[in-house]
Chains A and B, each alone.
Chain A
Amino acid sequence: MTALLEVKNLTKSFQGLVAVNDVSFALAPGRITALIGPNGAGKTTCFNLVAGALSPTRGQVLFEGRSIERTPPETVCRMGVARTFQIVRPMKDMSVLENAMVGAFSWTTSVKEARAKAYESLENVGLAGKANARTDQLTLPDRKMLEMAKALSTRPRLLLLDEVMAGLRPTEAAGVVGVLQKLAESGLTILLVEHVMRIVMEVASTVVVLHHGAKIAEGKPSDVVADPRVLESYLGAGFHA
């Protein structure tokens, strides 16, 4: 199977500080891949490079074979790559439904079609019952779900999720896991940036581990956790399972 997204020798330096160093990986369609690593490993930078919010110093990002690393975020989105933000950004004087509608206008100008799609997106993340609520009435987990619904309305083939579980209680995170699994089953490819290891083990079929900007491991979650370099990066040298 050809890769939906291919990241090749991606490097980003900020005035000499190398945040992402020669990272390569590929995403198979219909799978959940997680990008993990300790704080400051370069996960979010790597994520923003893929999403088009940043341009790399070197390297390539290929989506369906086309290079997107210098494409502006709105075009990347219109090509089929949707993203969420780590800090939730609901539009304040719009209802939950209206928030979810905006993304649909990347492929339609019909309000009716957008509304139907927004419902579908809200349904997919279990928020349909709160369609008419104001966004400031939502709890944090619901807001995270709304971010996901907004992204789903753009009809993505690849969904990039930036720390959707951050700040959630375990039971709430379990709900998110369920949603992600359902989405992947429907054929959506997902790239997840995550700090919480335990959740990653549950949902990801492949894990890419970054440390100091470089890729140190890639593989099935169970293999990766057994890798001494990974343990070292999280827990410090000298700790072996």
Chain B
Amino acid sequence: MQKKFDQTSDPKRWGAGVLVFAILAMVGSISNAYIISLLTVVLLFAFMGQSWNLMLGIGGQLSIGHALFVGIGAYSVAILNIKYGITPWIGLILGAAIAGLIGAVLAWLSFRFEVRGIYFALLTIAAAEFARIMFGGWDYVGGMQGLFFQAPTGSMDLAMLRGDTRFYYFVALTLAAIGVAGTEMISRSYLGYVWRAMRDDDDAARALGVQTFRHKILVISISAATAAIGGGVLGLVQGAIFPDSIMGMGISVDVLIGPVVGGLGTAFGPLVGSMAAIPLHHAMGALGDSFGIPGLNSIAYGAVLILVVWFLPDGIWPAVVRLYGAIQLPARVRISKLQEVENDRAA
């Protein structure tokens, strides 16, 4: 009887996930370089969006400064690799640890002094902007001129995490898959229940024994660490990092657009949302350049956001699920499913 409710073992959900990623892997094997590099960025932002989604969609904590963590990850990888020739793997781990720690300290200070909700979000912007300006004035890391990676020599070097566009596509795809599976696993574990309870009503959660102070710090720390891993890979993919590009507000917006458009708090939302929004952003940017209309891409972002909030307030993915549910599971089937459970319980 209990198995039925254990959605982690629901083969349909996992099957759908595997299918989606198999198709994406095929796309990566046959497409041309432009599409691959665009999709690489989409997948990386899907992964980073997933980390942001964990924090707001499940943990209920809003950040508008995720560029801080993305940038920390990118700089950790770049500094170690460019200055000391150390493998990006170490940089990714170190970056995640530093970002996780900074996220935890930021959260601890903030909640310790009752700075919550939207005020905490403002604090994240301030922290990201502070870091951007600090890195811009820091000669050791190249200041505003940034840091440049050496061009990769072969098509693939897993130990040094260097390779061609196709290699990075598969790295990004792996990360995106880990992001979806990880979110699904976390949200079905006790953390998912406790975090959602805390998100919906802090006082009610505390009355049920949830140590919300500790859990807020934990969710923010995990989100920061995973965003830093995405940032580290993003830096490698771009081949160079600058404070304005890797720690700017633009990155914070790119990170959150996926989950907001795709569906907050869902495992697939950030992926679906990034797929929809980021190519549009690029296409409109290109279109704007060729017609001499600057800012067309930002207008496109704004338009997508308004349309989604207006017509699909929970995002694209939940709407798809509803549609699918309407086809697959008419009311009578659902009732008979409930009946089955009842019978099981009686037995």
Contacts and interface: CB of A to CB of B under 8 A. Distances in A.
B55 to A, nearest CB: 17
A72 B193 CA distance: 21
Contact of A154 (B6, B193, B203, B209): B209
A97 B2 CA distance: 12
Nearest to B314: A93
Given A91-B200, A92-B200, A131-B341, A101 B193 contact: yes
A73 B196 contact: no
Interface string B1-42: 010011000000000000000000000000000000000000
Interface stretch (A23-31, A108-116, A164-172, A181-189): A108-116
Contacts of B338: 132
Given A53-B207, A74-B209, 12 more contacts: A77-B207, A89-B201, A102-B205, A105-B190, A105-B209, A111-B6, A114-B190, A115-B2, A115-B6, A116-B2, A128-B345, A131-B341
A122 to B, nearest CB: 11
Interface in B201-224: 201, 203-212
A233 interface: no
A94 B196 contact: yes
Contact of A51 (B6, B190, B200, B207): B207
A64 to B, nearest CB: 17
A151 B208 contact: yes
Contact of A74 (B196, B200, B206, B345): B206
A86 B209 CA distance: 18
Interface in A175-217: none
User: Which size class do A's interface residues fall under?
Assistant: 35 or more
A111 B188 contact: yes
Contacts of B207: 51, 53, 73-74, 77, 82-83, 85, 151
A202 B302 CA distance: 61
Contacts of A151: 207-208
A115 B190 CA distance: 11
Interface of A: 51, 53, 72-74, 77-78, 82-83, 85, 89, 91-94, 97-98, 101-103, 105-112, 114-116, 128-129, 131-132, 150-151, 153-154
B48 interface: no
Nearest to A79: B209
Contacts, number: 87
Interface in B265-289: 265
B95 to A, nearest CB: 29
A153 B5 CA distance: 18
B194 A102 contact: yes
B197 interface: yes
Contacts of B145: none
Interface residues of B, number: 27
A114 B208 CA distance: 13
A91 B197 contact: yes
Interface in B164-198: 188-190, 193-194, 196-197
Residue from B190, B193, B209 whose CB has the most chain A CB atoms within 10 Å: B209
18 contacts: A74-B206, A74-B212, A83-B207, A85-B207, A91-B201, A91-B204, A94-B193, A98-B193, A103-B209, A105-B193, A106-B210, A108-B190, A109-B190, A111-B188, A111-B193, A112-B6, A114-B193, A116-B2
A92 B189 CA distance: 18
Contacts of B190: 105, 108-111, 114
A102 B2 contact: no
A107 to B, nearest CB: 8
A131 B203 CA distance: 24
A89 B204 contact: yes
A129 B204 contact: no
B282 to A, nearest CB: 33
